[in-house]
Structure 1
């Protein structure tokens, strides 16, 4: 039996179902990127608002590239899907009912997507398209004009393929119709994600229509956000467990996640917004300190564990945490090397670090190190390199951050400590492979990878202290392997 409006009554007592009139919801938010994280995070906040506070804000879900199956499943299930919270062996489910429309750019046509974004009721366009979906350079937060999608959109602005291009075309249509602008809200893990989105959208618009770019600059807001919830990639075992929670009901769009969720939002919307604060979100004037805290302490330690854990043969984050040296390294990385670089105020960073470590130990999550290790060329700058720059300015050592960067370099070398090939998933996979192939394993490998200016910029590769720290950490990994290297550095040996 498949999840649908008719089968809701068959669900077990462990599952919360929509108690509100779904027909009253208006899809005022068009969301680009109906992936796992959005399903488990922003849509859940909307569902709580509809259930507990009578909100009539609904979603139009859109996938532009890939994800055809998720949209098809949603359409076949009366726009319903389930979210299961995993805490060890204790699982609870929730059927989310706030989706009122689901479209795929390639299947339903770009015109349908643009029409939804250009409707008078659309107040917000939000995004979870991962870092690479913004077509930007992490080292400078500027548009990547060499990106094939951006090149296409410059040549064909009325038939865009990139998320920034689609947003610009929708805004052009609204301006032509005399409709007010919407707000564009990024929910991806990037520092100042609203500013990045604004920079990319305005830069692309200026390539084709200066007047439109000026209109966007005057009328559109790009609120930044900080989002936090661990959402592992789905596996057959996870899907089987969810089906059990749902009492045998099949849900092809189901997702599982940890119980914890956090959302910090810059309160800067031109056409209204839901009352997210009633569902537990924090509305603030400046998100950046929260973003940096999460990116460096959570995401930075996650990447550290992912690269060094995978090299050592640990498949899941909770397995890394079962190794006392990895747990100690993660804690010391957060408190000794990441926390001192932050601008947060009135936050107990020690308590925050301990809460993160407890979340990492959740045996129900099965968060794969390989999944976290994806797209390192886009993640490394904000998760580790910005902190290293702060330490270099202050003349402070950064042994764990150096080990994390060296771990990434060993990882993209394509072979783990057991001699097994690594399946590298990265937008610059081919360039990384070429750099690895033409460099000898050792200092030469490090210095060759440092020429990747989109990651390291121009300053770090010319900083002798930085280069030596990475070379030394890489040499330790090469000589002793990840487990012993983590042991030595975590314990200050």
Structure 2
């Protein structure tokens, strides 16, 4: 028997159920990017909001769109869009049935009609989790007009990218004289609201509609936001645990998450769900300090754990963070380097760093290193090279940044040789593999060629050749010694 509205009454009483009738929900939010993170984060906060608002909250259901594949939309549709959220603490797992999604669609399906849904007067908010690479930005944070998907969307009768869908939907709102929805980016981009606004305006201008671009800039709100929750890829254990906790009901789309939850949202005008009913959600006048702390201290350190952990033969972030060498290097990198320009006092930084390492070591969260390390070329500037630049300008330490970049490049060196146990996912993977082949045996030349590319590394770093030499020296060590030995030696020296 499968989880759905008709079987909700069969769920055992140890599971938290929605405080409303899912059949009475009406859509008020359109979400682009119905993935695991969205289902463990925005959906959870919206469910708490609806429950706290009573009948007034029933107009805040979510139409959630998968962007690349129809599988999840089809699976959720079979279950009336219900699924189990498994909150995994170090010693206990709790289950909650999520029910705030009213409809799931595949963005590329003919009947998805996402632009029309965005233009519907009942849609007051559009949220997005399409990953950093889904915005097709340059290292400078502007729309990459040369990206193949963007070029295709400029002339396509039905857009496929999030930017194309947003531009089409907002064009309909403007044409009909309606009130535009608030557009809320929930991806790990620097100044994500402002960045998304500019990207949508750029897209509209590329389509020859400067008037629409100007209207978007004046009339559409794009508040910044910062999201934080570790959500690993679902696996067979999740399905087994969901069945057990649900009392025998099968769930083909459960999702796991750590207990930690944070959502910091820039204040905006207009109706919205009472998201702050979910602990960890807050509205603030300036998201910047929270965003920078999270991007650098959490996401940047996550990257080091992924790249170094994989080289050390460790499969998960928890294993990497618990490793004596990798964990020590990551903790030092986070606290000494990744705090650059983070406007928190020393006590707050200490507390946050300790809490992050504790979260990383949670053995119940099996966050695969190859997944955390994906799309590194799209993340490197904001999460690593920006604080590295600040540290160089201040004469502070950058050894951890050197190591992170070296480990990232080492992935592609091994991949080019067929010696990495997985294929790293990256929008510039072909370019990186080609550079590794061209500069095989010459690490100085390889690092120089990669860091010279502004689309991946941004402008040249201070004392640029010194940084190239330091990273190349680390690659020489990885070439001549087993990775665990190199990392252990570096940990002893730090």
TM superposition score category, shorter chain reference? over 0.9
Name stretches of at least 5 consecutive residues in structure 2 with no aligned partner: none
**Deviation string, structure 1 residues 394-444 (Cα, Å, up to 9, x no partner):** 122311111011110101223599954431211111111111111123222
Residue pair 1:128, 1:187 contacting (<8 A) in 2 also:
yes
Residue pair 2:389, 2:462 contacting (<8 A) in 1 also:
no
Name stretches of at least 5 consecutive residues in structure 1 with no aligned partner: none
**Deviation string, structure 1 residues 275-302 (Cα, Å, up to 9, x no partner):** 2222231101111111110111111111
Which residue is equivalent to 2:369? 369
Q: What SS does structure 2 have at the residue aligned with 1:414?
A: helix
Q: What SS does structure 2 have at the residue aligned with 1:338?
A: coil
Q: Report the Cα distance in structure 1 between the residues aligned to 2:465 and 2:439, rounded to whole angstroms.
A: 20
- Number of corresponding residues: 488
Question: Bigger shift: 378-387 or 7-16?
Answer: 7-16
Q: 1:458 to 1:19 in 2, by over 3 A?
A: closer
Q: 1:341 to 1:475 in 2, by over 3 A?
A: farther
Question: Bigger shift: 317-326 or 424-433?
Answer: 317-326
Residue pair 1:414, 1:423 contacting (<8 A) in 2 also:
no
Which residue is equivalent to 1:177? 176
Q: 1:347 to 1:311 in 2, by over 3 A?
A: same
The aligned runs of 1:426-441 (5 Å cut-off) are: 426-441=426-441
Which residue is equivalent to 1:136? 137
Superposed displacement of residue 85, structure 1: 0.6
**Deviation string, structure 1 residues 40-91 (Cα, Å, up to 9, x no partner):** 001000111222342232111112322x111112211112121101113411
Alignment partner of 1:59 out of 57, 62, 70: 62
Pairing 1:221–2:221 present: yes
Q: Report the Cα distance in structure 1 between the residues aligned to 2:345 and 2:215, rounded to whole angstroms.
A: 36
Which residue is equivalent to 1:160? 159
Superposed displacement of residue 268, structure 1: 2.1
Residue pair 2:50, 2:273 contacting (<8 A) in 1 also:
no
Which residue is equivalent to 2:194? 195
Pairing 1:484–2:485 present: yes
Which residue is equivalent to 1:444? 445
- State TM-score, norm by structure 1: 0.94
**Deviation string, structure 1 residues 167-212 (Cα, Å, up to 9, x no partner):** 0110111111121111111101111111211111011111220111
Q: What SS does structure 1 have at the residue aligned with 2:81?
A: coil
Q: Report the Cα distance in structure 2 between the residues aligned to 1:216 and 1:417, rounded to whole angstroms.
A: 47
CA RMSD of aligned residues (A): 2.0
Q: Report the Cα distance in structure 1 between the residues aligned to 2:381 and 2:224, rounded to whole angstroms.
A: 18
Q: Report the Cα distance in structure 2 between the residues aligned to 1:418 and 1:167, rounded to whole angstroms.
A: 40
Which residue is equivalent to 1:82? 84
Alignment partner of 1:100 out of 74, 87, 102: 102
Question: Bigger shift: 30-39 or 3-12?
Answer: 3-12
Superposed displacement of residue 154, structure 1: 2.3
Pairing 1:205–2:200 present: no
Q: Report the Cα distance in structure 2 between the residues aligned to 1:478 and 1:295, rounded to whole angstroms.
A: 30
Residue pair 1:313, 1:417 contacting (<8 A) in 2 also:
no
Q: What SS does structure 2 have at the residue aligned with 1:7?
A: helix
Q: What SS does structure 1 have at the residue aligned with 2:5?
A: coil
Which residue is equivalent to 2:338? 338
The aligned runs of 1:9-408 (5 Å cut-off) are: 9-54=9-54, 55-56=57-58, 57-66=60-69, 68-110=70-112, 112-137=113-138, 139-156=139-156, 158-207=157-206, 208-269=208-269, 271-280=270-279, 281-344=281-344, 348-408=348-408
Q: What SS does structure 2 have at the residue aligned with 1:15?
A: coil
- State TM-score, norm by structure 2: 0.94
Residue pair 1:311, 1:416 contacting (<8 A) in 2 also:
no
Q: Report the Cα distance in structure 2 between the residues aligned to 1:149 and 1:487, rounded to whole angstroms.
A: 43
Residue pair 1:447, 1:461 contacting (<8 A) in 2 also:
no
Residue pair 2:450, 2:456 contacting (<8 A) in 1 also:
no
Q: What SS does structure 2 have at the residue aligned with 1:109?
A: coil
Residue pair 1:399, 1:489 contacting (<8 A) in 2 also:
no
Q: Report the Cα distance in structure 2 between the residues aligned to 1:385 and 1:13, rounded to whole angstroms.
A: 49
**Deviation string, structure 1 residues 326-382 (Cα, Å, up to 9, x no partner):** 221121111111114323358711111111111111111111111101111111111
Question: Bigger shift: 188-197 or 454-463?
Answer: 454-463
Which residue is equivalent to 1:464? 465
